[in-house]
Chain A
């Protein structure tokens, strides 16, 4: 049975690791800074330099390993080493496969500690949800414009020189793309010229023997309905019993709900590219 990967079976480095390893190390500009909250950032930065100079040729810039050195993002030694002491002692011993066994007797405790902090931070970033995303703008803005004015029927409610003017500067692309499918009910910041409640759900409450009342929906359950009366601004509530009063909901954003049934991912990417360019 194959044993689980551990740093004891990895961290392969060239025997004459010093200058040779440095020669194979990526340039600093190709090896991005790792920034994670809740860590000793100066130590992580120093540890990154230790890793870049001495480890990366076998274990890769993303710690996932190469043919010469295995995947540190799954190193049990690193996960179990909660203080850095194990890694430091380990690196001073010989490790790696038989052909290329190496050790780092000259590694100082401070360097080992920095390297450990860098690797522990890297594991968190690589394995969890917080890895830095690449740009999501992969669509064709021209095709997006055609969709906006054609199949998507967006231009029936929106204008690139009106309510959407400058929208590409107001929102990051993922937020913008999300709003195509689920716009904010209460825009922040508000779209210029738009009423504060222009996007809220409307409820029309029809009680027997009374005139229907329309307002912004506050709450609707099987047992009660609450609205803010559009005419007076007052909060009003009704108990619902035996199906009375009747409540009808309308949604100013219904167009977004309708379009999502036919919207393809390509349409979405193109539309986002178009909107992101409205700056």
Chain B
């Protein structure tokens, strides 16, 4: 699997995430304690990338490192996923741990329509 880091020096991508592209998908590794402000910063960059680079097929979010989050941050993330879909991009989630899964169902955040994998390899297998 080849992965190239998208150069983002000074591009405004938040410190609470890292990026790469894999199989023409932007892979976003969200870090623990990401917040709505981080998603705000992410949103424009991701949407711009998708809009400008037609070869990109969508965005995969790896939540493997996310342990702590809250309702508003999850809701903000779900809004970002919707915006990506509106641009015709595919969306996938992976690396959700048991605690986070319990929180998501408890808050009834609608991630169920997304493509979901246990980890990134699993998610890529589904694509």
Same complex? no
